[in-house]
Structure 1
């Protein structure tokens, strides 16, 4: 079996592509790497790939989010607990204008990690995480 290079691609369907695009650019610093048409945009932070796909207008009227999210959360790795706190303050200050919210405030975890949770405009939960092992790894900046 071939060894993979990590889980580095995520695709999300969104109800308002422009709003979600602004959110991911603003809070996660994602850079556009490909925009094939007005309904799709692909981002990267250097070592990953995030795709946002606009829900088609014919489906949008019928779109009913589940009462709960099947995917528990998506995580982004930060280099230190101080960076987690800085991001928390930043998201807390501006999240509402993007239709986002803080889901859980910063917390120290038993394994030495430290994080907080927030939502994107469609309610997907994102964990901003300092994890002692992964946070020390080198990642490429966006091209």
Structure 2
């Protein structure tokens, strides 16, 4: 098998309006699908972020039920040239940065929380592609 990338990532949230306000309102991700009381979907570059109400997606009969709980983690990738501006934009949106980390080789990332306490990270493009 040769997978090209992870196309979708799911988070399970407790309040869709609050989730929409954070990801669309503050992070400026485009809303590409929404079903009240069930889910809101966002475009993140060439990937999709699916945010479900756990109970609703767990009762699905159309597709296999999928659901989860707990604090999850995902990372958004930005170009090295846009990293500093992205960090400034996050701060300007009133979002506290939890920590910034230097991974060596000129690669940085920073962490922050969404309203459901999922840990979000912004990483520089090429970080995982580099060779040791």
* TM-score of the aligned structures, taking structure 2 as reference length: 0.71
* 1:1-143 aligned within 5 A: 2-56=1-55, 69=71, 71=72, 73-80=73-80, 82-95=81-94, 101-105=96-100, 107-132=101-126
1:85: Cα distance to partner?
1.9
Say whether the 8 Å CA contact 1:9–1:48 is kept in structure 2.
yes
1:5: Cα distance to partner?
2.4
Say whether the 8 Å CA contact 1:103–1:125 is kept in structure 2.
no
1:123: Cα distance to partner?
1.0
Paired residues in the alignment total: 117
Higher RCO (C-alpha 8 Å, min separation 6): 1
Structure with greater proportional strand content: 2
- Alpha-carbon RMSD: 2.7
Render the CA deviation track for 1:38-74: whole Å, top value 9, x for unaligned: 42111113411111112449xxxxxxx85xx4x4x31
Structure 2: runs of 5+ lacking an equivalent: 57-68
Structure 1 segments, 4+ long, off by >6 Å, are: none
Structure 1: runs of 5+ lacking an equivalent: 58-64, 136-143
* TM-score of the aligned structures, taking structure 1 as reference length: 0.67
